[in-house]
Structure 1
């Protein structure tokens, strides 16, 4: 089915993981997709895989000068965006005593400031009936050691869902969120953990999950497509948790 035929979708952080999988799903459903990535190399690689209905823009979600150029860069390809998925981000984890001002600023610049100003820049070219989806995390529902800065930033994004929804109602633009659990992505790659530490973490976490597996990026992608579609036309200001029941069954 071509549910998104003639629609333009903009996805931040679309070169891998959940963003890339979501881009694939939208293209499979007829959309033209514009993705962002932090380097030309990763953008080009993703576009080669996504095909002719994808366009790539080099943009760093944690760099305000890049974000303020988004609208101009998008206008080189289209005069509108029907769906915005603010997805870009990663975590850096550590105990309270070890967090530096630089670490704090990096995460808040990317997840909080990046999310806010991306939405601000895109709103003027989003027509009535458009949809905004923000990527949060199930980790805000529980208290985990070493994650205070990351979860605080994501909690701010959760707050944006409600406040943006209230403000965008008059524009007839729906705003919702998707809250992923443990998903097979490269989220650990920017944490400073070694390959062995990452593998050890995955092996330790997996047995604690209700279905004894990490989620697939496609399972997040399909949720994003639902929220962006007419099937969700009366869903506004909510967050769908996709964590295999982890935050609800413990």
Structure 2
């Protein structure tokens, strides 16, 4: 029997990268699954990859209304929800001089506001017990240049794993976080790095990682799988850092 046999799970941002790999591992462990995305092309690819038994929905993580619709859809399809992996997010790295109010608001809307109100909307839907895993980042701890807003969103999101655990544990809902280091995913393709510089940027990043390489989505997904499963029933308000030793360098 799989580690998630009979569990009903949601993965936001599940059509590429860490989310899609986690969806594959959840399926292999017996979960029923709803996955969300935003890009029509990756939604179609994910549906083909995961199969007809998985529901793949379009949902903008920045929209509170979209999160409320998603919670209603989950209630209609599943009745209750055992697992939520809140993975949808954006990563924008630019100097402070280049930030605009709209850029700032969009980053916080996608990475913090939308997921927060999704949790609120899911409160009547969560089973007892339920496990919620937040995908945060080592940038909540590491003061990397050009990451000021992104890191702030992830620090806020990470803190929710503790505050909401305290508030909602009596309802049978436990929260934990997984904080990846540099992982080779499509997220890095969205940073606006010109192709001519990409190899050098990758080399510079790898030089900061004691393990000497980027992580893989599968390695992050294994940590998420543990936090989703009953094996972690006594793991509450915790953070699993999966970073190849990156945070050892400060």
Q: Answer whether TM exceeds 0.5 for this pair.
A: yes
What is the match of residue 179 of structure 2?
Answer: 179
Contact 1:8–1:82 at 8 Å: present in 2 too?
Answer: yes
Contact 2:63–2:114 at 8 Å: present in 1 too?
Answer: yes
CA displacement at 1:149 relative to structure 2: 0.5
Give 5+ residue unaligned stretches, structure 2: none
CA distance in 2, matches of 1:81, 1:195: 42
**How many residues were matched structurally?**
250
| Structure 1 ranges of 4+ moved more than 4 A | none
RMSD value over aligned CA atoms?
1.4
CA distance in 2, matches of 1:177, 1:216: 18
What is the match of residue 77 of structure 1?
Answer: 77
TM-score (norm 2): 0.95
Contact 1:22–1:224 at 8 Å: present in 2 too?
Answer: yes
Give 5+ residue unaligned stretches, structure 1: none
Counterpart secondary structure, 1:130: strand
Contact 1:39–1:59 at 8 Å: present in 2 too?
Answer: no
TM-score (norm 1): 0.95
CA distance in 1, matches of 2:147, 2:66: 27
Q: Deviations over 1:61-110 (max 9, x none)?
A: 11222112112222342211110000001211111111111110110011
CA displacement at 1:40 relative to structure 2: 3.3
What is the match of residue 157 of structure 1?
Answer: 157
What is the match of residue 51 of structure 1?
Answer: 51
CA displacement at 1:249 relative to structure 2: 4.9
Contact 1:165–1:174 at 8 Å: present in 2 too?
Answer: yes
CA distance in 2, matches of 1:208, 1:81: 39
Match runs of 1:32-51 below 5 Å: 32-51=32-51
What is the match of residue 86 of structure 1?
Answer: 86
CA distance in 2, matches of 1:133, 1:174: 9
Counterpart secondary structure, 1:129: strand
CA distance in 2, matches of 1:156, 1:85: 17
What is the match of residue 4 of structure 1?
Answer: 4
CA distance in 1, matches of 2:235, 2:224: 12
CA distance in 2, matches of 1:126, 1:198: 42
What is the match of residue 138 of structure 2?
Answer: 138
What is the match of residue 98 of structure 1?
Answer: 98
CA displacement at 1:174 relative to structure 2: 1.2
Contact 2:64–2:118 at 8 Å: present in 1 too?
Answer: no
* Greater alpha carbon shift after TM alignment, 191-200 vs 181-190: 191-200
CA distance in 2, matches of 1:125, 1:182: 33
CA distance in 1, matches of 2:208, 2:155: 24
Contact 1:31–1:53 at 8 Å: present in 2 too?
Answer: no
CA displacement at 1:45 relative to structure 2: 1.2
CA distance in 1, matches of 2:198, 2:161: 31
